[in-house]
Structure 1
Amino acid sequence: MKFLVISAHDYRSYRKAGIHFVTVELAKLGTTRFFSCQYSLLSQLKSDPRASLATLANKKTVHENVECYLWKTWIHPFNVRKSYLRPIEEFLFRRYLKKPNQVLVDWIAEADVIFFESGIAPIFFDLVTQSNPQARTIYVASDDLATINVAAYVKATFDRVAPQMTALCLKSRYMSDGMPKSSNQYVIPHGFDFSVAEHADPSPYPGGGVHAVSIGSMLFDPEFFVIASKRFPEVVFHIIGSGTGTQPGYGENVRVYDEMPHRFTLPYIKHASFGIAPYRSANLPRYLADTSLKLMQYDFFKLPAVCPNSIVGDYASRFGYEPGNGESIAAAIDAALAAPRTSSRMPLHWSQVVERMLNPAQFEDARLPAA
């Protein structure tokens, strides 16, 4: 089998997303190629995480048994945001598609299965149907398109082509709300790397004491720690990789760390008293309850978690609060401190995720629940 992954991520990037783990498993099954798109000189103005790979742009390389290509152009199409600028947006996308990269054209023609990650990738679906109509086409819904604010051109294209794809793989049943009506939707949860258990010792904390940990920068809310550190002076709050540094109002019991390699964060999670997902918005997409990696990691290590009410979901080990509300934050932390250490559910191995993506109709648990 020959697999092709089309994404705005790059397989060689330092920061890993779910599509990277999917690709690792595909490489065990056959020839696997990863084509990274929507990268240009504009990307350097937006702190694109692929900037460190700039010297590899427009070159074929092999990384961990995967053929990789980062397509860099002078300018790439993007969301113009203003409706009166939509003609410019459409022009940019049509121009981008008019002269597709030859490596992409070749890899599409040779692929048996093509994965489109949510974002810009579905705009290449018509190219696939023209040059390789026999290929199976699988959409990986890492995020809802409205949530990541894709261009109107991308959303319109996806709505048109989605029913024609072999399978739409949703990370959460809640994602179906943002999908066009079709019978090819399946729920395939986010996978998990169980090897993290091998790297979670020893404890980084001094003996005794109560420690809470927050990992990552997505929608990070520093106000949570301004409130919590004053309400709970006996708790030491460890903030890793928030991208914001120490903030005015933090108590002396707050420790701030720069971003660190993923495996180095694991002991901080395993040996904490509770975990925090301090998203700053109360209007979070419901599917984040099932797709938040930090919440999955907390649950794997049987860590009670504090998070906004909107993403507690049906996880008994999570305790919700309203962002900015001191009383609800305090109540959530009190509940987490009193909670037993248990896991709400067992995640899938990434190999199981890929098995379901390739043959979703064969798995009863992948069927979308009835409304």
Structure 2
Amino acid sequence: MRFADVPSGRVPEPMAEPRMPRRVLIVTGQHFAAAPRKVDLHFMADALRAQGDHVDFLTCRLSPISRFLKDGRYAYARSRLLNRWVEIGPGFEEFIWFAPFHPMNLKKPFLNRLSGLFFRRYADLLPKAVRDRLPGYTHVLIESGPAPLLTPLIRRKAPDAQIVYHAADRLKTIGVHPVIQEVLNESIGFYDLVHIMAEAMRPDFPADAPVLYLPHGISKGVFDQATASPYAKPLNAVSVGDMLFDANVIDTLSAANPDWKFHLFGKKALPAKPRDNIVVHGEVPFEAIVPFIKFADIGLAPYRLSDGADYLSQSSLKMIQYSYSRLPIVAPAFAAGGREHVCAYDPADASSIREAFVKAQVYDRSRIDVSGIRTWEEAVQVIFPADRSG
């Protein structure tokens, strides 16, 4: 099946004939294969492995410079084996690449122009142990972030692989070095598929690029099997994740609703002011978070306004998880499009934030449609089409 044959957003019917196992490489500058916090890449890897496929995880954007950054990635990486393939589980290996340097946004246009020439050579440092495996992959997923710098090399070394650009975020929204956008634009022809999770991102790519809009899947089985509520009392609002986290929203809502409990999940999801009705859970494994989502009364998506963040209304995984649990959602207006059960607010207007929360409290949850939400197993069949025998 060619990517061009897949109608936008449509999942093909399962096919019964046998197929060759896939060998998939996932390249990311954000995530680790065995980290407790699970994101879309982990769920896709799990779905592929459950179908008998092999998945390799290449984590980049690590170097001695990382020691001085405050994202926690350096400390985690140093607790793992570096620059070698390590088996995480059956059919699942990781390579944490610790390089002499890695691309980072230096914030000053002059410095970025100079360093851009240097960072274009980042792929030259890719270890031989990774290069040697490239010809054997059937599919390679390049996540938005620094990974597009590796695409030209990967295409040369793996000419028969299907290469997918996984546009999890706009590059300007996550603040990468501008040379990465330049290289992505120059090498867009190397991709067999550009996977977007929000229609708002379609204009970001050339009209003839093989763009497919396909929202995140979710682990329906994990949600369906959660039967015990973790809450001692009703009136619970849950916020999952810390991307563009706006602590002011939590402060406003917790002060205005002292009878509600506000549960925050995410390493950097911290309130501006501690309050008795705010519970900070930190970074917690996905399976432990699911009951807090499923049995909550309201889902919070307190995104901070950022340039080009309008795509979050469709691409946010937590908003899909909230929707599957039939939670009314409180979110800023720029991230509210396309879902009737999102109660929108103006981040600059405290009264608007409070009013959105009041609307969410009385929203009829039975009206929330979950029929269009897919499993990860369905999603990977589209993103990584397999060769069929015969």
Q: Same fold (TM over 0.5)?
A: yes
Counterpart in 1 of 2:243?
A: 218
Q: Which of 93-102 and 158-167 deviates more?
A: 93-102
Change (3 A) 1:112 1:359: closer
How far 1:130 moved relative to its partner?
Answer: 2.5
Q: Which of 73-82 and 281-290 deviates more?
A: 281-290
Counterpart in 1 of 2:318?
A: 294
**Percentage of identical aligned residues:** 27
2:48 equivalent among 26, 44, 52? 26
Deviations 1:320-347 (A, max 9, x none): 0011412211221111111111333332
Residues 1:45 and 2:45 aligned together: no
Deviations 1:151-180 (A, max 9, x none): 221111100111332111111111112223
Distance 2:23 2:153 in 1: 17
AA in 2 matched with 1:226: D
Structure 2 counterparts to residues 103-252 of structure 1, below 5 A: 103-198=129-224, 200-207=226-233, 209-241=234-266, 243=268, 245=270, 247-248=272-273, 251-252=275-276
AA in 2 matched with 1:291: S
| Unpaired runs of at least 5, structure 2 | 1-21
Q: Is the CA contact (8 Å cut-off) linking 1:237 and 1:254 kept in structure 2? A: yes
Q: Is the CA contact (8 Å cut-off) linking 1:316 and 1:344 kept in structure 2? A: no
Q: Is the CA contact (8 Å cut-off) linking 2:301 and 2:319 kept in structure 1? A: yes
Residues 1:97 and 2:123 aligned together: yes
- Structure scoring higher RCO (CA < 8 A, sep ≥ 6) equals 2
Residues 1:35 and 2:61 aligned together: no
Distance 2:138 2:130 in 1: 14
Change (3 A) 1:146 1:87: closer
Aligned length: 358
Distance 2:282 2:155 in 1: 45
Counterpart in 1 of 2:356?
A: 332
Counterpart in 2 of 1:256?
A: 280
How far 1:259 moved relative to its partner?
Answer: 3.0
Counterpart in 1 of 2:27?
A: 6
Distance 1:296 1:269 in 2: 11
Q: Is the CA contact (8 Å cut-off) linking 1:7 and 1:36 kept in structure 2? A: yes
How far 1:102 moved relative to its partner?
Answer: 0.7
Q: Is the CA contact (8 Å cut-off) linking 2:251 and 2:271 kept in structure 1? A: no
Counterpart in 2 of 1:341?
A: 365
How far 1:245 moved relative to its partner?
Answer: 4.5
Change (3 A) 1:189 1:202: same
Distance 1:222 1:99 in 2: 39
Change (3 A) 1:89 1:272: same
Deviations 1:222-258 (A, max 9, x none): 222332233223323233336354543x554333333
Q: Which of 125-134 and 57-66 deviates more?
A: 125-134
Q: Is the CA contact (8 Å cut-off) linking 1:39 and 1:76 kept in structure 2? A: yes
Q: Is the CA contact (8 Å cut-off) linking 2:151 and 2:190 kept in structure 1? A: no
Distance 1:67 1:163 in 2: 29
Counterpart in 1 of 2:108?
A: 82
How far 1:44 moved relative to its partner?
Answer: 2.6
Counterpart in 2 of 1:354?
A: 380
AA in 2 matched with 1:218: M
Deviations 1:44-75 (A, max 9, x none): 32234363232311121111221211111232
